[in-house]
Copies of this chain bind each other. A is one copy, B any other.
Amino acid sequence: MITHAATATFDRVALDCGTTLENVDIAYETYGELNSAKSNAILTLHAFSGDAHAAGEGGWWEKMIGPGKAFDTDRYFVICSNVLGGCRGSTGPGSINPKTGCPWGMRFPAVTIADMVRLQKMLIDSLGISRLLAVAGGSMGGMQALEWAVSYPDQVAAALPIAATARHSAQQIAFNEVGRQAIMADPDWNHGDYYSGRPPARGLAVARMIGHITYMSDESMRQKFGRRLRAPDQFEVESYLQYRGSRFVDRFDANSYIYITRAMDSFDLTERGALSSLFDGIKTRFLVISFTSDWLYPSYQSQEIVSALRSRNCDVAYCNLESHYGHDAFLVEAEEQTALIRGFLTSTHA
């Protein structure tokens, strides 16, 4: 599999909040080869804590992207970029504000899912690709896939929103808010200005622990941990969460946590009109996937999208896959997703 890692820089990008951000980096990787017609490009879109490294060792969608896999790099040119506001090579609150020479911190402008997609569109244009064969992602990646289809319907032959929603519910906002509050309660956060000192590691760890619980299911936690003890007075699930929380700070910036979760919470396609009206006349094909045990992005949220698409006679396939892995299923359940996605992509033509 031919792999490239690169960073593109744009002079400016206009944001939904009204600000224009200058000197904007977008880190991305590509897998496979773009064909001469430039008609085999698939943009994969990462979830909240993901990055541009989607395939190959340690890639967040390693199970799904590669030769012979769901997103078959022998056939497709697969692209993945780090989102705007992130901390893995794309411009975000940890980047240097060119006007001050200091890190942005909480002075970074608010970003939206639509802003992330606007920058991705600039990247795709710069690669000379006028139309994507598909946009695909799980969780926040699925929200971006929906945004792509609604904002650039003529540039997207197919969209695959997986374990996603057209808008965050009060419960989804609430879990994100507790994570943000945990970070902001850490004195080391210092209102976001910690880049020359200690990061708010304890607050970020607590936020990550909450996240992990919501990504799993009651059943998958029972199977993985049950009530097994790690030490006489410590359950295995406790040490697992503590470990995962404490490690997160090594690869993630607390301010990006705040900015990206706010982008997710503010996402609401229905603010622009009834969901069905947004899909009016869209030629993009859809494959919508949800998972039975996903209680963070429950199946009814995917079914709302499917109903809206069907009401406008759009081309949509939907599957509510049986799984006990909870929200993590989009990362873990490779076999059934592969069968569905391979068949769907084979019948999709740019």
Q: Which residues of A contact B (CB under 8 A)?
A: 110, 167-171, 173-175, 177-178, 181-182, 185-187, 202-203, 205-206, 209-210, 212-213, 216-218, 221-222, 224-227, 233, 235, 237-238, 241-242, 245, 265, 268, 295, 298
Contacts and interface: CB of A to CB of B under 8 A. Distances in A.
Nearest to A268: B227
B173 A238 contact: yes
A186 B210 CA distance: 16
A227 B170 contact: yes
B221 A174 contact: yes
A177 B225 CA distance: 14
21 contacts: A110-B233, A167-B227, A168-B227, A169-B218, A169-B221, A169-B222, A170-B227, A171-B216, A171-B222, A174-B238, A177-B209, A177-B241, A177-B242, A178-B206, A178-B241, A181-B241, A182-B206, A185-B206, A210-B210, A218-B295, A295-B295
Contact of A185 (B167, B205, B224): B205
Contacts of A268: 227
The listed residue with most B CB atoms (<10 A of its CB), out of A110, A224, A235, is A235
A213 B175 contact: yes
Contacts of A210: 178, 210
Given A175-B213, A213-B175, A268-B227, A221 B181 contact: no
A156 to B, nearest CB: 26
B206 A170 contact: no
A295 B350 CA distance: 44
A245 B181 contact: yes
A208 to B, nearest CB: 10
Nearest to A235: B173
B169 A181 contact: no
Nearest to A206: B182
4 tightest CB-CB pairs across the interface, nearest first? A185-B202, A170-B221, A170-B225, A170-B237
A174 B237 contact: yes
